[in-house]
Amino acid sequence: MTPAPLRPPPHAEVVIIGGGVIGTSAAFHLAEAGVDVMLLERDELASGSTSKAAGGVRAMFSDPVNIELGLRSLAAFERFGERPGGEIDLAQHGYLFLLDNPDDVAAFESSVALQNRLGVPSRMLDVAQACAMSPYVDPDGLLAAAFSPRDGHCTPEAVVQGYAAGARAHGAVIRRHCEVTGIAAADGHITGVRTATGEVRTGTVICAAGAWSAAVGDMVGVPLPVRPLRRQVLVSEPVPDLPPGLPFTIDFGSTFYFHPEGPGLLMGMSDPEEDFGFDTSRNDAWLGRFAEVAARRAPRLAEVGIAHGWAGLYDMSPDHNAVVGEAPSVSRFLYATGFSGHGFLQGPAIGEVLRDLVLGRPPAVDVSGLDVRRFAHDRSRPERNCV
Ligand SMILES: Cc1cc2nc3c(=O)[nH]c(=O)nc-3n(C[C@H](O)[C@H](O)[C@H](O)COP(=O)(O)OP(=O)(O)OC[C@H]3O[C@@H](n4cnc5c(N)ncnc54)[C@H](O)[C@@H]3O)c2cc1C
């Protein structure tokens, strides 16, 4: 039974809109720093994109900011049991990108060199090495691969619950089933948020509303160019003789990927036919395209039975890179959204960054290049290692 919505307390120094990985991580880091923070989630915690994620965590990116955010987050995932606490099933068997195009090989060679300079232990592999590491892979057409052993995957809902429990332990208020319906501002300053069950006075709002962020930005006249894009995932029945230590394997050209999930495999792929929209129904046309690619790149997996699956939403920005910063037009409206498929893994570091932006100190990672104004000033910065 859905619990009756509780009236939120009348005041908080900072209100966070959205209870996914970004909102709960921000709540934890702010509460730990002694800030009076309230998180408002209209549904259940993690009920948005976070619980639909494949759980991949990595630092193998092309943009130095994403490499830094990934590295910082990996370190936080590794220590999650101590801070904030909780088991997140972290498996660090590496990310393996399979490459079948000379341009992609050249781009990954240069990304790997950059990653190495920034402290990521990634390396290029030949096709035989890649197939030995991920024995389901058919080498046909492959030219090379890139691998990083520290990457891996963990359980998104557990991360959210860990951050939420940690935030509460430091005094944060978290209200579920509490939709923010409006943001009040006067003379360019935020004065509060409206919810169905009452108003909360506040001077600072953080938009952590994922694929729904554009609507939150509209509440305060800040255009956030974030659009929802459906992505689908399948989980197989138990796979006999699952190779131990199987990496998160991605066929970069097709975006088909798989990684171990319990006794089976979690598999996914983007759909070039997909249009932007909030539809999260399962789709048979995608299934046909998925099966065709899987049969080509990992023929033994085409035989595996499917236990269940789901669809969720990527929060897409125009350059497939996050949109993080503080609005210049209204004080103080902060936003962290548009993660375009890599928001789960950046959750820990972005929570630290948001804490620092609220406190007015230099952020843990310099995210000035991710400010939303980049789109108006032709300073977009495409992230190439996206799937
Ligand atoms: C199939 C799939 C696979 C993915 N795989 C990965 C992966 O392997 N690795 C990775 O890093 N990322 C992955 N992602 C992307 C990742 O899930 C997202 O980038 C990330 O979860 C975004 O987190 P968030 O907290 O910003 O948003 P969300 O988790 O969507 O949270 C936003 C919350 O805001 C709430 N909300 C919205 N409007 C309001 C309002 N007005 N009032 C109150 N609450 C509101 C929503 O209910 C929602 O719970 C994947 C996504 C999908 C769909």
Residues with CB under 6 A from ligand 1: 17-23, 40-43, 47-50, 52-56, 179-180, 208-212, 216, 231, 233, 268, 312-315, 337, 339, 341-345
Above 90 in pLDDT, residue 377? no
CA of 139 to the centre of ligand 1 (A): 34
Give strand ranges (E) for 52-153: 56-57, 95-99, 123-125, 144-148, 152-153
CA distance linking residue 238 with residue 260, whole number of Å = 10
The 10s digit of each residue's pLDDT in 33-68 is 999 999 999 999 999 999 999 999 999 999 999 999
Domain boundaries, the chain: 14-53+157-226+319-374, 95-149+227-316
pLDDT of 7: 85
Closest atom of ligand 1 to CA, residue 230: 53
Task: For residue 140, report the distance from its CA to the centre of ligand 1, in Å.
Answer: 35
CA-based nearest residue to 90, from 153, 30, 45, 167: 153
> Is 284 a residue whose pLDDT tops 90?
no
CATH number given to 14-53+157-226+319-374: 3.50.50.60
| Helix, coil or strand: residue 358 | helix
Tell me the C-alpha distance between 40 and 24, whole Å: 10
Q: What percent of the chain has pLDDT over 90?
A: 92
* Correct CATH for 95-149+227-316 of 3.30.9.10, 3.20.20.140, 3.40.50.2300, 3.40.50.360: 3.30.9.10
Number of Cβ within 10 Å of residue 83's Cβ equals 13
161, 212, 219: residue to mutate for ligand 1 pocket, most atoms within 8 A of CB? 212
Instruction: Note if the pTM is more than 0.95.
Output: yes
pLDDT grade for 315, boundaries at 50, 70 and 90: very high
Q: What's residue 4's pLDDT?
A: 65
Model confidence band, residue 151 (pLDDT cutoffs 50, 70, 90): very high
Taking 70 as the threshold, does the pLDDT of residue 3 lie above it? no
Residue 245's pLDDT band (cuts 50, 70, 90)? very high
Nearest to 167 by CA among 360, 347, 4: 347
